[in-house]
Each structure stands twice: as C-alpha cells, then as structure tokens.
A and B are shown apart, each in its own frame.
Chain A
Amino acid sequence: MNEISKTKPESELARKENGSLEKSASAPAIAKLKFFVTIVTHSYQKDVLKILKNYEVGISFITHGYGTGTREIYAILGLSDVRKDLVFAVIKSENAEKIKAEIEKMFKQSRDAKGIAFAIDISSVIGLSIYKYLTNTRN
C-alpha cells in the first residue's frame, strides 16, 4: 500500500511536467514512447535488433519462447522449430511507423524470419534520467 501511495503523486507529477512542457517554448519537446514487441523465429533476433538500432533505441530485452500455432499450420509451412525470440524494446512514437514498415519488409523478404510485431503505448515514465536512458539521449 505504501508503495502505491508513494508512486502515485510522482506519476501525477510526471504528467504535469508533460503538460507544462507543451506550453513552455524553452523546454525540449518530450517524445511519447512505445513499448515495441517483436516475436520472431528463433535466431532472427539479430535482424530485428539491426533494424531497431537505426532508430535510437536505448534499451532492448530479448527472451525466448515458443509458438503454439496449430501443428497442421506448422506442417504446411514446413516448420518444425516452434522456438521464438521475443524482442522487447522502447521506441519513440514518431518512429513506430518506420520501424513497423521495416519489420514488415523483413518478414516479407526473408523465407524463414517470420513473426509478428506490435507496439503498446507507454503512459508514464518517472525521472528525466530514466527517460533519457530509454530514448538513448543521455549525452
């Protein structure tokens, strides 16, 4: 309970900060962030990271999972490997369309690198340093 009551005003502060920044001309514009998830055939995480690297992605996190698509579909596609790489990254909202297009191109061009990708809006971040860390703009 304590934790919740502690963090709540801070998150409200962050929101206020966001709102006031829009009004003040001197402060730099704060770009909205998205949590970008890519689920791709195992061992193709490098290709995803290569794309993300071009868009100032500060952090990414890779984990492994496995697909649960129906066996018939896997058989038709000639796939026996159900292992997947999950790539989680924080991206700037403005880059979402471009990243999406590049990932789509990768899925289309490659015979084996198949998967899905989507973005989830990040509603708040606490602390400017963390924001800078997430957007890879620490310097």
Chain B
Amino acid sequence: MNSNGYELILCIVNNGFTDLVMDAARREGARGGTIFHGRGTGNPEMEKFFGFAISPEKEIVIILIEKEFKEAVLRSINKAAGLETKGQGIAFTLPVSDVVGVEEKKV
C-alpha cells in the first residue's frame, strides 16, 4: 500500500462552524480543506417533540494532512469546535493511500 504519509481528517460540525474548524486546523499546519453539507440523523426525540421532521444541518470538513501534523490538528479542532462547544464537532482520521495532487511542504 502506498500510504504517502498522509491521513484524512473528517470533521462533522453544526452548520456555520466550519470557519472555526479551518482556523484551528491552519494554526497547526493544515493548508486547505473541502466542505460539503450533510444532515444529522441522531436525536429522534426532536422529531416527536416538534411533531414534524427536523434534521439538524451539518457540514463536513475534510482535510488531507501529513501524518506528523495529525495529532496537533485534531486536538486543535476538538478544542475549537469539539463536542463541548457550540460547534458540536466530531473529528476523526482515516489512513489514506494513493494520494494525488498534494505538493510536499517546503521547509
């Protein structure tokens, strides 16, 4: 497996909190990410309470990052937009292979 030394950070946050996530990630060495929309399916109680379907809007931030920055970026994201903040973010990483289109960071 050609791992290239990269990992993918996936962060699911409440709508409107992606800036916090990206700022936190950039502080620790991330360069860019991609955002797309999603809907949460947790908390079925909400639906019953209001009588109609409400699905909480979520945004997903994906950041491809060198392994050495992973830990620091994850911690930073968790601090800025983790479950204890209004962002209610969940972040995790996945090992990736066959990475294309990322230039090595110049030291």
Q: Let me know if A39 and B34 touch, CB within 8 A.
A: yes
Separation in Å of the B58 CB from the closest CB of chain A? 13
Q: Which bracket fits the contact residues of B?
A: 20 to 34
Closest to B30 in A: A68
- When each residue 25-47 of chain B gets 1 if its CB lies under 8 Å from chain A and 0 otherwise, what string results? 01000011111110000000000
Taking a contact as CB atoms closer than 8 A, the residue among B32, B96, B98, B99 that contacts A97 in the complex is B98
Closest to B38 in A: A63
Residues A118 and B18 in contact in the complex (CB < 8 Å), given A69-B32, A70-B32, A100-B98: no
Q: Which bracket fits the contact residues of A?
A: 20 to 34
Is B94 on the interface with A (CB-CB < 8 A)?
yes
Is A127 on the interface with B (CB-CB < 8 A)?
no
* Secondary structure dominating the interface of A: strand
Q: Give A114 to B64 CA distance when docked, in angstroms.
A: 15
- When each residue 24-39 of chain A gets 1 if its CB lies under 8 Å from chain B and 0 otherwise, what string results? 0000000000101001
Q: Let me know if A116 and B102 touch, CB within 8 A.
A: yes
Taking a contact as CB atoms closer than 8 A, the residue among A34, A66, A67, A116 that contacts B100 in the complex is A116
Apart from the given pairs A70-B26, A114-B101, A118-B98, 19 other A-B contacts in the complex at a CB distance below 8 Å? A36-B98, A65-B34, A66-B36, A68-B18, A68-B32, A68-B33, A68-B35, A69-B32, A73-B32, A96-B97, A97-B2, A100-B100, A104-B100, A104-B101, A115-B101, A117-B100, A118-B64, A120-B97, A121-B1
| Interface positions of B (Cβ within 8 A of A) | 1-2, 6, 8, 18, 22, 26, 31-37, 61-62, 64, 94-102
| Interface positions of A (Cβ within 8 A of B) | 34, 36, 39, 63-70, 73, 84, 86, 96-97, 99-100, 103-104, 107, 114-121
Q: What are 10 A-B pairs with beta-carbon distances under 8 A?
A: A39-B34, A63-B36, A66-B34, A86-B34, A104-B100, A107-B100, A117-B100, A118-B6, A118-B97, A121-B95
